[in-house]
Amino acid sequence: MNDHSIVKSRILSLALRGVLYISILALIIIVFYLYQEGGWREIIRYYRTFLSQKRLGEFIASFGPFAALIFVITQAVQVVAAPIPGEMTGFVGGFLFGKVWGIILSTIGLTIGSLLAFGVAKKFGMRIVERVVKKQYIAKFNFFVTHKGLYITFVMYLLPGFPKDALCYFLGLTRLRFLDFVLMNVFGRLPGTMMLTLQGNAVREGKYETFFWLLAVTVILIVLLYFARNYIIGFVRQIVRSVVRSAIKRKKKRRKTRPV
């Protein structure tokens, strides 16, 4: 890469960061204005109508006593095939079933879908994964294979915006144990699931101020985690390397002390 390309790349990077900062600031100002002027309640009312009468909310609610089962299936399918954004299904779960059952049903559905993706990759290998997962994701996920995936992968589950569903497929290609995958998937997804479900439940109960604060906290956490993602990954990477080095040293020490 020549000097001109490097300068051009840096300028583009700075421009994108500037746009991101301005967008975040504009979002904060708009949300604050709507909340102070009472416009927030109107937006929530229209959003609630959309959820209860159209598309996903209407589809699931129309099954009556079987709505919970349909919701679990929908959550599982959106992991395997991703036709519906996971954020939408999590919110709908809290809106339709409340905070407790919303979290439980979402967790069950997400776990089933993750296990299906994991199992499909185990069974059919890289061929099926290349058809489902984008090539740039596969290149990034190679790091997890090198370090057996467990610790850093758990951090990836916690990071907002990270392609967790694609990660489930890729982990099926590794030697990650089934139980480790289940535990990592359940607890790694839980914080995000809880926040989305609580937001949906707040709208369900008409607690718009609670919804506003939950949304504000979620946005703040997303921004903080986004900018700290490299530091988090680097920190966990150092821990994994130190653990591996310690294990190698102990193994060498045992070989030296072993009687001939």
Output the pTM of the full model. 0.64
Query: Could you tell me the sign of the dihedral formed by the alpha carbons of 197, 201, 204, 207, in that order?
Result: negative
Instruction: Please give the distance of CA 258 from its chain centroid, rounded to a whole number.
Output: 47
Q: What is the pLDDT of residues 116-172, one digit of tens each?
A: 888 888 888 777 776 666 666 666 666 555 554 566 667 777 766 667 787 788 788
Tens of pLDDT along the chain (260 residues) come to 555 555 555 665 666 566 666 666 666 666 666 555 555 565 565 555 444 435 677 778 878 888 899 899 988 888 887 656 667 788 888 888 988 999 999 999 999 999 988 888 888 877 777 666 666 666 666 655 555 456 666 777 776 666 778 778 878 877 778 888 888 888 888 888 898 899 888 888 888 888 888 888 877 877 777 677 667 666 666 765 676 677 677 777 777 666 65
Distance CA 170, CA 162 (A): 13
- Three-state secondary structure readout of 52-104: HHCHHHHHHHCCHHHHHHHHHHHHHHHHHCCCCCHHHHHHHHHHHHHHHHHHH
Helices (H) and strands (E) in the chain, counts: 11, 0
Per the prediction, the chain carries an average pLDDT of: 73
In angstroms, rounded to a whole number, what is the distance separating the alpha carbons of residues 212 and 208?
6
pLDDT value at residue 64: 85
Compute how many other C-beta atoms are within 10 angstroms of the C-beta atom of residue 25. Answer: 10
Contact between 87 and 196 (Cβ < 8 Å): yes
According to the model, what pLDDT value does residue 163 have?
Answer: 73
Contact criterion met (CB below 8 Å) for 113 and 76: yes
The size of the chain, in residues, is 260
Query: Domain coordinates of the chain in residue numbers?
Result: 1-37, 43-230
Whether residue 186 contacts residue 194, with contact meaning beta carbons closer than 8 Å, is answered with no
